[in-house]
Amino acid sequence: DPNKEVIPGVKRGDTIIVEDPTGAITNPDSFNIWTCWAGGNGGWSHGLQQLGLDTLWLIDPDSGLPHKGEKDNTWHNSLAADRPAYNKDFTVMTVKLKKGLYWSDNVEFTAADVKYTVETLAQNPTALFGPQFKTDVKSMTTPDKYTIVFNLSAPNSRFHRNFTVRWNACWIMPKHRFEKDLKSATDLMTYNFNPPLSLGPYTLKDYDKNGRWYMWERRADWAKTSINDFGKPVPTYVMYQLDLPNDKKVIAQTNHDLDMIHEVTPEGIISLAKNKWETNWFQGFPFGHPDPTLIAILPNNARAPFDNKDVRWALALSLDITKVALASYKGAVTLSPLHYPPTGTSKKYYFDPMQGFLKDLSIDTGTNKAYKPYDTTIAAKIGDMVRPQFGDAVPKDATRLAAMLGQGWWKYDPKAASDLLIKAGMTKKGDQWYKKNGEQFKITLFNWGTGNPTLQRLGTMVAELWTAFGIETTALSAQDNGTRYGLGDFDVNMGWNIESWGGNPDISFFADSMHSRFYTPVGEVHNGRNQVRYKSAELDNILDKVNVSDFNDVGKSAALGLEFLKLTAKDMPTIPLMSYNVMSSQDNTYWTGYPNFDKPYANPVTNWANSRYIFTQLKQMLPPTK
């Protein structure tokens, strides 16, 4: 019923209801996105970063939309008028800003806002980006209202990263408002920024004091924001719903009370997909959208025996990836043998070019000097396994299947894995493996928590497979896994380590943190980087080259990326598994036009900033009667 009121004065037919997967927000009154604790409290993606704030550039993780002033759909000059421009030695970055953009209180956005943001943050050591700006920015000048020049303290070809959003970046503060509310820059840490001032197409209309929903209303002057490059956002209202248990999401969407589900379990999607009015990224199997993030098995490279490449390879070859795929995503996976998510434009830049290398790649298993571990039949195998359930939705054509499920992965070869372990000095007694020192080889696997069923299932399956192989593995979903992971007190962690820009092949976004600069010995608390404690001179070398290459030189970026991928494929510091497939679901009753595999103009996940573009592409189905 489009005339039903969602909240007083807001009709259902004018509102798109969207899930924010963050979980209940514990500090619902705070819209201060710049403090550290905001990160843990999650008060970001309830519309604030999608609809309310803006920064210089956005990268779309998918193919993006055509828009004014750019030929690359994935790159959006948002507040900036052009791409970042560096001087020769990358010590100065100059940014031209767009004209005619206004805050929601009708104050114009200018270079002063950007300068103020950087300066304020630099004075707060516990602010996000604060320490970066303090160390990296020597000074700033604003030659005119629409230009800002960053003088950097050291050569840095990727400084613009701080203002480039794929998932998150430094958002710009409204100087006039902050100056009024903050007595000193350090007040920022307890400032609530409530109600938030918007630089995006929507303003906050109302929100739940318990942090369960946020209602945004389209600005009358939405054209004075950067969204104008794409067109008018269609829904008058956007409502974000938080903290819904999986089963409830399905019920709510079935009742047409929730238009966009960020994700549910594969089973949830399968039951939702039975409805005519429902769409997914893939219409039918494999449903989900592959995130530009990579799920991987993360062994502790600083702890024996995981410091041994052969052991890491053995762990990979003892996994029957088809079972992992089935247990987690019911087969709806996009596998990756590379240290890169198999999503966005990566097929073009990396996965196709790497096939030859992978097919030729050989390792020494001790008994076989040139063992070829790559297996291109995996997609077909998974296809055969799931076809009985999903029928024609699972294509028979090998290339199409590979595009869906991934071009290949490592062989399931317990024999080769055993050889590798023997090569590493281990022995098998009975059906259990024993380390060189005679101890039984046991692994405690830090698994995902209950909050993410699909991935928890994945970790459990990995543990089961290793146990079956003779390495007793306990999957542990303990609360302090993270802390122990941070301390280096772990065997193997399941998690994300690598995320890409999605639309852009540059690897600096994630790979930087694997630089040995950030290496911390076991027992010492890490500082948020290089948690797998990997150290490689070759890798450092590649990363140093990235740092002095032009970001806009995509060819160069991709070449360096390929070097990185070859190195990590051989050395296997982590065991990449697959992209994080987000089982999102959309209800077409009130709105249609959501992105999908055939129209991949945006990532359909609801919590990313780029999801703002979706609203410009929707079509209203049931407008309320006036």
Partner 1 sequence: MINAFTGLWKTSGYFRFGIVAVVFAVVMVVLSFFSPYKPMESYAVAADAPPSLENWFGTTSRGQDLFWQMTFALRNSLAFGIITALLSRIIAIFVGMYSGYKGGWFDKVLMSVNDSFVIMPVLPILLLLNFLLRDQMNWFYMSLMMALLGWAWDARLIRSQVLSLKERVFSETAVFCGMPTRKIIFREHMPYVLPVLFSTTINNLLWSIGMEVTLSILGLTNLNNPTIGVVIFWANQHQAMISGSWWWVAAPVIVTVFVFTGFYLLSVSINEFIDPRTRLRMKGGAA
Partner 2 sequence: MTFKHVFNKNFGKYLLGRVGQTIMVIIIGITITFIIPRLAPTNPVELKIQQMMVSGANIHPEAIKAFREAMNDIYGLKGTLFEQYVNFWSRLSRGDLGPSIFSFPRPATDIIMKAMPWTIGLLLSTSVISWIFGNLLGGLAGYQSNRRWTKWAELAANSIRPIPYYIFAFILLILFCFVWPLFPTMGAYDPGMDEEWMNPVFLLSVLHHTFLPALSLVLTGLGAWLLGMRALVSNIISEDYVQYAEVAGVKKKTILYQYVMRNAMLPQITGLGMSLGGIFSGALITEYVYGIPGMGQLSYRAIVGFDYSLIMGVSIFSIVGVSVAVLIVDLLYPIFDPRVRLN
Using CB under 8 A, list all residues that contact partner 2.
5-10, 24, 26-27, 36-37, 39-42, 44, 125-132, 134-135, 162, 167-169, 189-190, 206, 208-213, 215, 239, 241, 243-245, 247-248, 251-252, 254-255, 257, 479-480, 482-486, 499, 518, 525, 527-529
Tell me how far CA of residue 137 lies from CA of 79, 91, 152, 509, in angstroms. Answer: 20, 9, 5, 19
Q: Nearest Cα to 94, choosing from 27, 174, 152?
A: 152
Smallest separation (angstroms) from partner 1 to the CB of 277: 17
Binding of partner 1 at residue 275 (CB under 8 A)? no
**Stretch of residues binding partner 1 (CB under 8 A), selected from 29-37, 200-208, 261-269, 533-541:** 261-269
Q: Which does 474 bind (CB under 5 to 8 A by kind): partner 1, partner 2, none?
A: partner 1
Judged by CB under 8 A, the residue of 181, 464, 489, 563 near partner 1 is 464
3-state helix, strand, coil split of the chain in percent (to 5) is: 35, 20, 45
Which candidate, 141, 167, 158, 171, places its Cα nearest to that of 84?
Answer: 158
Where do the H-state alpha helices sit in 432-582?
A: 453-469, 481-487, 508-511, 537-547, 554-571
The residue among 252 and 382 lying less far from partner 2, judged by its C-beta, is: 252
625's tokens: 């009667």
- Minimum CB–partner distance for residue 605 and partner 2 (Å): 12
> Cβ of residue 486: shortest distance to partner 1, in angstroms?
15
What the block records as the tokens of 101 is 């953009």
- Does the footprint of partner 1 cover residue 460 (CB under 8 A)? yes
- Window contacting partner 1 (CB under 8 A); options: 54-62, 229-237, 345-353, 477-485: 477-485
Do residues 380 and 401 lie in contact, with contact meaning Cβ atoms separated by under 8 Å?
A: yes
Which two structure tokens, joined as six digits, stand for 493?
């962690």
CB of 271 to partner 1, least distance (A): 5
Cβ 519 to partner 2, closest distance in Å? 12
User: How would you classify the pairing of strands 278-279 and 427-429?
Assistant: unpaired
CB nearer to partner 2: pick between 9 and 66: 9
Q: Does position 23 bind partner 1 by CB under 8 A? A: no
Work out which of 8, 479, 521, 555 binds partner 1, going by CB under 8 A: 479
Paired tokens of 246: 């999986």
Q: How far is the CB of 577 from partner 1 (least distance, A)?
A: 16
User: Residues 367 to 396: which contact partner 1 by CB under 8 A?
Assistant: 389
244 binds, among partner 2, partner 1, none (CB under 5 to 8 A by kind): partner 2
270 binds, among partner 2, partner 1, none (CB under 5 to 8 A by kind): partner 1
**Integer CA distances (angstroms), 163 to 62, 175, 374, 388, in order:** 19, 17, 39, 47
Count H helices and E strands in the chain, helices first: 19, 27
Which of partner 1, partner 2, none interacts with 575 (beta carbon under 5 to 8 A by kind)? none
SS3 508: helix
Specify whether the backbone of 54 is left (phi greater than 0), alpha (psi in -120 to 50) or beta: beta
323 near partner 1, judged by CB under 8 A: yes
Beta bridge partners of 11: 5
User: 67 and 76 in contact (C-beta within 8 Å)?
Assistant: yes
What backbone torsions phi and psi does residue 404 show, to the nearest 5 degrees?
Answer: -80, -50
Residues at the contact surface with partner 1, assessed by CB under 8 A: 246-247, 250-251, 264-265, 267-268, 270-271, 323, 326-327, 330, 389, 444, 449-450, 453, 456-457, 460-461, 463-464, 474-480
